[in-house]
Amino acid sequence: MTLKELLVRLAWSRMDLVKRADVSITAVRNMEGGKPVRLLTAAKVLSAINAELRARGESPVSLEDLEGVVISDMDR
C-alpha cells in the first residue's frame, strides 16, 4: 500500500498528516514521491497513522507495508 492510498483510506489530506505527525509538507510529498526521507520523519508519520488505525480498531502498519518509501542513506 502506498502512503497516498493509506491517506485515502483514512480520509486524511496531506495537511492532516502534516499536523498529526508534526512533519513538513515537503517531507510528506517526498515520501509519496519516493524521494529519501529521514528515518525519524518516517517514524513520526507511521506513529500518527498507527494511532488513528488503532483508534479505529484496525491493525497498525509498518514501514515495510508502505510501498515506495525510501529512507535516506544518512539513516542506514
pLDDT of residue 76: 53
Cell of 51: 494511532
Annotate 44-55 with DSSP letters as a single string: HHHHHHHHHHHH
List the pLDDT tens digit at each of the 76 positions of the chain: 999 999 999 999 999 999 999 999 999 999 999 999 999 999 999 999 999 999 999 999 999 999 999 999 875 5
Q: What is the pTM of this model?
A: 0.92
Torsions phi, psi for 20 (to 5 deg): -70, -35
**What are the chain's domains?**
3-75 (1.10.260)
pLDDT of residue 75: 59
